[in-house]
Chains A and B, each alone.
Chain A
Amino acid sequence: MAIISFRSDEIHCKIVYYGPGRGGKTTNLISIHKALGHQARGELLSIDTAGDRTLFFDFLPMDLGSIGKFKIKISLYTVPGQVRYNDTRKLVLKGVDGIVFVADSLEARRNNNIESLQNLNDNLTEQGKGLNSVPLVFQYNKRDLDGSKVAIMPIEEMERTLNTQGRHPSFPGSALKGDGVRETFKKICMMTVVDVSARLLKEKGISLTGK
Chain B
Amino acid sequence: MGDLVLTKQALDRIDSVLANMLKRSGAHTVLLIDKAGQIISFEGSMDQEKVSSLAALTAANYGATTAIARLFGEEEFTLLFHKGKQENLHFSNVGEEYLMITVFNNNTHLGLVRLEVQKGLAEIETMFAQNLREWFNA
Contact = CB atoms under 8 A, between A and B. Distances in A.
A45 B37 CA distance: 14
B73 interface: no
Interface residues of B, number: 31
B108 interface: no
Contacts of A56: 60
A196 interface: yes
Interface stretch (B2-10, B86-94, B118-126): B2-10
* Interface magnitude class on chain A: 20 to 34
Interface in B17-35: 34-35
Given A1-B4, A3-B3, A7-B8, A95 B57 contact: no
A3 B34 contact: yes
Contact of A7 (B12, B39, B52): B12
B60 A45 contact: no
A96 B34 CA distance: 12
Interface stretch (A150-158, A163-171, A179-187, A200-208): A200-208
A8 B16 CA distance: 16
Q: Point out which of A3, A14, A127, A199 has the most chain B C-beta atoms below 10 A from its C-beta.
A: A3
A75 B11 contact: no
Given A87-B64, A88-B60, 14 more contacts: A1-B34, A3-B38, A3-B39, A6-B11, A14-B36, A41-B48, A45-B56, A59-B37, A75-B52, A87-B67, A91-B60, A91-B64, A92-B60, A204-B135
A5 B135 CA distance: 14
B60 A204 contact: no
B38 A14 contact: yes
A2 B3 CA distance: 5
17 contacts: A1-B38, A3-B4, A3-B38, A4-B6, A7-B7, A14-B36, A14-B38, A42-B50, A45-B57, A59-B56, A59-B57, A61-B52, A75-B37, A75-B38, A96-B36, A196-B3, A204-B3
Interface in B72-114: none
A101 interface: no
B49 A42 contact: yes
Interface of A: 1-7, 12, 14, 41-43, 45, 56-57, 59, 61, 75, 77, 87-88, 91-92, 94-96, 127, 196, 199-200, 203-206
B18 to A, nearest CB: 14
Nearest to A61: B52
A95 B1 contact: yes
A75 B56 contact: yes
A57 B7 contact: no
A196 B11 CA distance: 20
B5 A6 contact: yes
Nearest to B3: A2
